[in-house]
Structure 1
Amino acid sequence: MSKKKIVLAEDNSTLSMLLKFRLEKEGYELFSSVDGKAALESIETNQPDLIITDIMMPFISGLEVISHVRHKLNSKVPIIVFSSAGQEEMVLKAFDLGANDFMGKPFSPNELLIRVRKLVT
């Protein structure tokens, strides 16, 4: 059985490394991107089973990533969005654009793993 592929878009390198370590330990193949532009390139190249994206990123925001995936690529791939607290408007916009799940920062990597398993099984 091939590994499930995840594209992670997160500009915080410490958080990105932590999530990469945790998800790869669970058997997922992870493609990390430091901004939305790199994330879109990775999504188109790797055809992931799941996308995890921050909302606030350089160049292209997580909202633009969701919009591109849903409207330009016509993809139904599950998307988990995370963002700092106090951005309810952004969260609602993310769901309107087609996000499947949301987690506020800071969050538990164990909780993220449960949500990932639920969406890629």
Structure 2
Amino acid sequence: MGKKQTFIVDDQMGIRLLLKEIISSEGHQVKEFESGQALFQECEKNKPDFVFVDYSLPAMNGREIADRLSQKYGNQVAVYIMSGYSMDEIDMDMKNPNIKGFLQKPFDVTEVIGLLKENTPS
């Protein structure tokens, strides 16, 4: 089986770089994007297996991105919402079955690795 495709969407370069380092060390192919628009341009060419997306993005927030991914791919993409706020503060509902987890920033490296392993078929 080929490398898992993991896409990171965050408007903060530091977060993208940190996540890219963690996730690529787990054997994933990683691409990073500053916006939902850039993500969906790439989705025309490649389907991600995992998407880590910041909740608070200009133009399209993390939940809207998760919903669009569901419309495009059904339940084939595991989405993780990230935020500096708690789930309660952003009123995050986890009704979208593609949303597999929530990471509160700053996050722990082992938490990211655990989420990836949890949703990777062996």
Scaled to the shorter chain, the TM-score interval is: 0.7 to 0.9
Residue 74 (structure 2) pairs with residue 75 (structure 1)? yes
Give me the TM-score of the superposition, normalised by structure 1.
0.87
* Alpha-carbon offset, residue 74 of structure 1: 4.2
Residue of structure 1 equivalent to 2:109: 109
Q: 1:1-121, aligned counterparts within 5 Å? A: 1-71=1-71, 73-76=72-75, 77-88=77-88, 90=90, 92-93=92-93, 95-98=94-97, 99-121=99-121
Gaps of 5+ in 2: none
* Alpha-carbon offset, residue 6 of structure 1: 0.6
Matched to 1:75, the amino acid is G
Matched to 1:68, the amino acid is R
SS of residue paired to 1:46: coil
For residues 115 and 44 of structure 2, the distance between their equivalents in structure 1, rounded to whole angstroms, comes to 23
Gaps of 5+ in 1: none
Contact 1:33 1:42 in 2 (8 A): no
SS of residue paired to 1:56: coil
Matched to 1:16, the amino acid is R
SS of residue paired to 2:24: helix
Alpha-carbon RMSD across the aligned residues, in angstroms, is 1.7
For residues 57 and 41 of structure 2, the distance between their equivalents in structure 1, rounded to whole angstroms, comes to 15
The count of residues paired between Structure 1 and Structure 2 equals: 119
| Consecutive aligned runs of 4 or more in structure 1 exceeding 4 Å deviation | none
For residues 68 and 104 of structure 2, the distance between their equivalents in structure 1, rounded to whole angstroms, comes to 22
For residues 15 and 92 of structure 1, the distance between their equivalents in structure 2, rounded to whole angstroms, comes to 21
* Alpha-carbon offset, residue 36 of structure 1: 1.4
Q: How much identity, in percent, do the aligned residues show?
A: 23
Give me the TM-score of the superposition, normalised by structure 2.
0.86
Q: Which has the larger helix fraction?
A: 1
Contact 1:10 1:53 in 2 (8 A): yes
For residues 15 and 45 of structure 1, the distance between their equivalents in structure 2, rounded to whole angstroms, comes to 24
Contact 1:31 1:42 in 2 (8 A): no
Matched to 1:11, the amino acid is D
* Alpha-carbon offset, residue 87 of structure 1: 4.8
